[in-house]
A and B are shown apart, each in its own frame.
Chain A
Amino acid sequence: MVKVLIVDDSSMTRNFHAYVLRSAGFAVIDASDGVEALEKLYTEGDIACIITDLNMPNMDGLTFIRRVRQEPLFADVPIIVVTTLDDATDRKEGIRAGANFYLTKPIQPSVLVESVRIAVGG
């Protein structure tokens, strides 16, 4: 199964995204902040796609994305940033930091699934 890492400090959002993706046949691992997410990346291995929030405690999304991109091991893992309508600057920052593209909340389940499918390819 294709493994997706969801990083979001809202357990509600995490659970929903996980639910949606699992229903679509993905394996989901989750983390509530950047620190935990990095840990999961190293311990879980073979993560095919990362979906991350930007606004998080401990280590925010931008720092997390940069750290991921610094690691040659994960340089090619697609990263999807999840933002809201009003964070236009954040989005650009996210892309600049190394994300592939962003999704705007609220994300319709089908769009989430399809975006991940596109991101991981095949």
Chain B
Amino acid sequence: MRFSPEDVEILAGILEEAPDYLSNIEEQILALEKGQEKELLDSIFRSFHSLKGIAGFVNLVPIVEVCHRAEDLIKELKSGKRTKSPALIDALLEAADFVDRVLHRLREAMAGYSGGVLEVDFEDLGERDVLAKIEQIPPEEQKTEEAEEPLPVIDRAFAEETLHDFLAELEDNLVQAEETLLALEHSPESETVSTLMRAFHSMKGGARLVLSLAPQETQERLLRAIEEIAHRLEDYFQEIREGKVTITAEVCEEAYRGIDLVRELSRLLKTGASGAPWEAVNAFLRPQREQRSEEVRTQTESGTGALEAFGNIMEQFLELLDDKLCSPSLVGEELQRLAEVVQRGLVRLGRENDVPLVEEVLKKSQEGDTEALKNLREQLARLFEDIQAAKDSTCREEAAQQTSLARTPLQQGTAHTVRVDSEKLERMLNLVGELLALKNATRSFVKQMERDSSPLLPEAKNIASGLERLSADFQSMVFSLRMVPIGELFSRYRRTVRDLAKSLGKKVTLLIEGGETELDRTVIEKLSDPLTHLVRNAVDHGIEPPEEREHLGKPPEGTIILRAYYRGAYTFVEVEDDGRGVDVQAVRVKAVDRGLVSSDEVLRLSDEEVLSFLFLPGFSTARVVSDVSGRGVGMDVVKTNIESMGGQVGIESVPQRGTRIWMRIPLSLLVVRGLMVRIAHERYILPLEFVRETVKVPPERVREYFNGRFVEVRGEILPLVVAEEVLFDTRVDLRGKGFDFNLVPLVVLGGEGETCAVAVDAFLEEGEYLMKAVPEYMRGNGVVSGVTIMGDGSIVVILNPPQLVQW
């Protein structure tokens, strides 16, 4: 399809807004699976409807068509013509998926857009498959299931007979269509168009009926093609009837081609011969549509806005007049209201002289003078034709107006929210970083002034505290802009769970708790893969098949809970299932097999410690574990992803009761409160969350045992790590180091793991630093968690204490 530059602007808007509707739709469809409330149906209907409407702006035919069919389904569901069935839900989901694919394709195309006409190909996105799927939904499937009646066996003979009847009727319809078309070519009348539409309509209906009788595969394909062609032709003439397309020689040619194809297909059905003209069928179904949209397009592009608008109103006026002529008592005020608008329209088109004609209509209608009214109606109709014929003159002016309209940039949103380019957010974040650096610098400056007893100190303190307050507010504001509720991510897994459970023959409900919990955008992105993994694992290995569950006295339907909540300075995200749990003993055995622990040691480890082996790379892929416990592949990836954000993972499991995997993620990955230290002439930052205290001890308190160093701090013996040794892989003599006052500055690290002392060269300052991620190769096996950029532009490394002391 081709899009003009004006369309592209509108497309950009569509791409921004449509995803919201889509995610809504998917959730609602899944909810529909559970219960069929009228409100839910309405809501789904509206979503598809809105998508269709919006796509219609730029004639995005694939979306319009698919949404239209999906809408029909919902309507039929509402009216009771259809009942809910898995096939129907699937078809709706596929429709939503298809729209998603189209949008995706558009997004790709827009990314490379550099002006001019935008060409996008949607051919390979499976539109026909989706439409076919919708058509193929077996009618009343659910009903027969529920009634537990045996499926009616379709009598072959009956089916053959029906097919025979259908073919005979089809022939009649074809003949009639052809004749009508011939007449139409000579004198286009709306009655003739209706006859033609009826003919195509019966062909379509007949084909559907036969299709419902489960014909053989070859027949099915032929019937489907007939049905589709008839459907297209019917739609086509619908547009003609509505005046969207005018009848031309080409239009008739097209219709003849369709009729010929149907005739050929019907011959093959009758004789059972092979060699169907598939190429011609596809060609007919495809380009016709493209062309059709093209035609609608050129009509509007030629810029007949005012005229079209008036035409629409005039048609309604004439229609209402007809109603009035049929039943004079019915229509009163309506006519009056429309007449007003018609008059204004005439004025707008510079036809002031014709306004009295409308006045006359009103007058006569009040008087009930039917004869005069009939006469006036004819006059009006002719006037309308006149106006349409004269449209060429207004055309050019209109076209200019329209382009200027479309070129006005999208500047005013009606909603109270604004969408911000993520790049701008990123830049804002950099500003926060600079502000923080400035704040830190001011703080040390004030300290210096304090030492110097500067007379300007009170003033400087004022400025510094003002800056501090301001930067804190600004920082939290900018960060809040980046926060997204995790519910959006969580609800994506509804589909994953549903599809996977279905394919495994399991029954699983996904519950979401704390969906409103907000996390940073980047965190949400990073959680996506681990969660996919954990959710799949839970369905695949955690939840037992329904029979097994029932046997165990559990409800046949398993439950998976996705949960998020805040606790302290952390956000917790959990995946919990009520499945079979992990076999801890099997993990113990495996751990010993792998040489991770000795057989004595393994018995002393708590269950939780044992389970943490599952997160080790390679361990999880081991067959035994995935067979016995099912906690399968790639748990190490989960761990790595979470730890890359400074988080932690853990697992709890009770055999037969279920498994809970938790991920603990720092609330803000962005700002690190840290202690800046000097190590070998370089500055480093240690995050304060790991720092228990800082002390200075004489070097004599450091002792060496078996190649390891220990230090006594307030009566406690702590393992000692010399940071310089770890970072630069050297050996350092603490006595010869020449520390200030010959005292070794030690940072005592606490936190989750063991307490440990880290020797540095000097303590510098405490502050808040904006953390920037570093590429993988710079992480030095995880010792580096990020960097921060100082006010003077220099870069300082932020260390990751747990990794540092493990060295």
A residues adjacent to B (C-beta < 8 A): 6, 9-16, 18-20, 22-24, 28, 30, 55, 57, 78, 84-85, 95-96, 98-106, 108-115, 117-122
Complex contact B413–A103 (CB within 8 A) = no
Q: A105-B56, A109-B405, A119-B344 are in contact. Are A114 and B306 (CB under 8 A)?
A: yes
**Min CB distance, A119 to chain B, in Å?**
6
Complex contact B50–A12 (CB within 8 A) = yes
Q: List residues of chain A with CB within 8 A of the CB of B317.
A: 101
Q: List residues of chain A with CB within 8 A of the CB of B312.
A: 101, 103-104, 111, 115
Q: List residues of chain B with CB within 8 A of the CB of A98.
A: 333, 337
13 more contacts with CB within 8 A, not counting A84-B49, A104-B312, A110-B303, are A9-B46, A11-B17, A11-B414, A12-B51, A95-B320, A101-B313, A106-B54, A109-B402, A111-B308, A114-B306, A117-B348, A118-B310, A122-B347
Q: A13-B53, A105-B56, A119-B341 are in contact. Are A114 and B10 (CB under 8 A)?
A: no
Residue of B nearest to A112 (CB): B309
Q: List residues of chain A with CB within 8 A of the CB of B375.
A: none
Q: A57-B42, A118-B310 are in contact. Are A18 and B338 (CB under 8 A)?
A: no
Residue of B nearest to A56 (CB): B46
Per-residue interface assignment for chain B, residues 1 to 45, with 1 indicating a CB less than 8 Å from any chain A CB and 0 otherwise: 000000000100110011001000000000000000001001101
What are 21 A-B pairs with beta-carbon distances under 8 A? A11-B415, A12-B51, A15-B414, A23-B406, A55-B46, A78-B340, A84-B53, A95-B338, A98-B333, A99-B337, A101-B337, A108-B308, A109-B402, A110-B303, A110-B304, A111-B305, A111-B312, A113-B309, A115-B309, A118-B341, A120-B344
Task: Indicate if B398 sits at the interface (CB-CB under 8 A).
Answer: yes
Complex contact B338–A12 (CB within 8 A) = no
The B299-340 residues at the A interface (CB cut-off 8 A) are 300, 303-310, 312-313, 316-317, 320, 333-334, 337-338, 340
Q: A95-B334, A101-B313 are in contact. Are A19 and B410 (CB under 8 A)?
A: yes
**Cα-based distance from A122 to B341 in the complex (angstroms):** 11
**Min CB distance, B81 to chain A, in Å?**
14
Q: Select which of A95, A102, A108 is within 8 A of B305 by beta carbon.
A: A108
**Min CB distance, A71 to chain B, in Å?**
15
**Cα-based distance from A14 to B413 in the complex (angstroms):** 10
Q: List residues of chain A with CB within 8 A of the CB of B278.
A: none
Q: List residues of chain A with CB within 8 A of the CB of B341.
A: 78, 100-101, 118-119
Chain B interface size, as a band, is: 35 or more
Residue of B nearest to A80 (CB): B341
Complex contact A28–B414 (CB within 8 A) = yes
Task: Indicate if B242 sits at the interface (CB-CB under 8 A).
Answer: yes
Complex contact B348–A110 (CB within 8 A) = no
The B43-101 residues at the A interface (CB cut-off 8 A) are 43, 45-46, 49-57, 59, 64
Complex contact B308–A114 (CB within 8 A) = yes
Complex contact B17–A15 (CB within 8 A) = yes
Task: Indicate if B353 sits at the interface (CB-CB under 8 A).
Answer: no
Complex contact A110–B308 (CB within 8 A) = yes
Q: List residues of chain B with CB within 8 A of the CB of A102.
A: 316
Q: List residues of chain B with CB within 8 A of the CB of A103.
A: 312
**Cα-based distance from A14 to B428 in the complex (angstroms):** 30
Q: List residues of chain A with CB within 8 A of the CB of B298.
A: none
**Cα-based distance from A10 to B57 in the complex (angstroms):** 14
Q: List residues of chain A with CB within 8 A of the CB of B415.
A: 11, 15
B residues adjacent to A (C-beta < 8 A): 10, 13-14, 17-18, 21, 39, 42-43, 45-46, 49-57, 59, 64, 238, 242, 300, 303-310, 312-313, 316-317, 320, 333-334, 337-338, 340-341, 344-345, 347-348, 398, 401-402, 405-406, 408, 410, 412-415
Q: List residues of chain B with CB within 8 A of the CB of A115.
A: 309, 312-313
Complex contact A24–B405 (CB within 8 A) = yes
Complex contact A113–B405 (CB within 8 A) = yes
**Min CB distance, B240 to chain A, in Å?**
13
Complex contact A110–B405 (CB within 8 A) = yes
Residue of B nearest to A120 (CB): B344
Q: List residues of chain B with CB within 8 A of the CB of A9.
A: 46
Complex contact A16–B13 (CB within 8 A) = yes
Q: List residues of chain B with CB within 8 A of the CB of A105.
A: 52-53, 56
Complex contact A121–B347 (CB within 8 A) = yes
Q: List residues of chain B with CB within 8 A of the CB of A20.
A: 405
Q: Select which of B18, B305, B337, B405 is within 8 A of A12 by beta carbon.
A: B18
Q: Select which of B43, B57, B308, B333 is within 8 A of A106 by beta carbon.
A: B57
**Cα-based distance from A55 to B42 in the complex (angstroms):** 9
**Min CB distance, A39 to chain B, in Å?**
16
Complex contact B344–A118 (CB within 8 A) = yes
Complex contact B308–A55 (CB within 8 A) = no
Q: List residues of chain A with CB within 8 A of the CB of B54.
A: 10, 12-13, 16, 106
Q: List residues of chain B with CB within 8 A of the CB of A30.
A: 414
Q: Which of B46, B51, B59, B312 has most chain A Cβ within 10 Å? A: B312
Complex contact B305–A101 (CB within 8 A) = no
Q: A15-B13, A15-B415, A28-B414 are in contact. Are A106 and B309 (CB under 8 A)?
A: no
**Cα-based distance from A22 to B304 in the complex (angstroms):** 20
Complex contact A100–B340 (CB within 8 A) = yes
Complex contact A19–B412 (CB within 8 A) = yes
Residue of A nearest to B53 (CB): A105
Residue of A nearest to B238 (CB): A85
Complex contact A95–B344 (CB within 8 A) = no
Complex contact B337–A114 (CB within 8 A) = no
**Cα-based distance from A57 to B45 in the complex (angstroms):** 12
**Cα-based distance from A98 to B303 in the complex (angstroms):** 30
Residue of B nearest to A114 (CB): B309
**Cα-based distance from A100 to B314 in the complex (angstroms):** 12
**Cα-based distance from A30 to B415 in the complex (angstroms):** 9
Complex contact B21–A12 (CB within 8 A) = yes
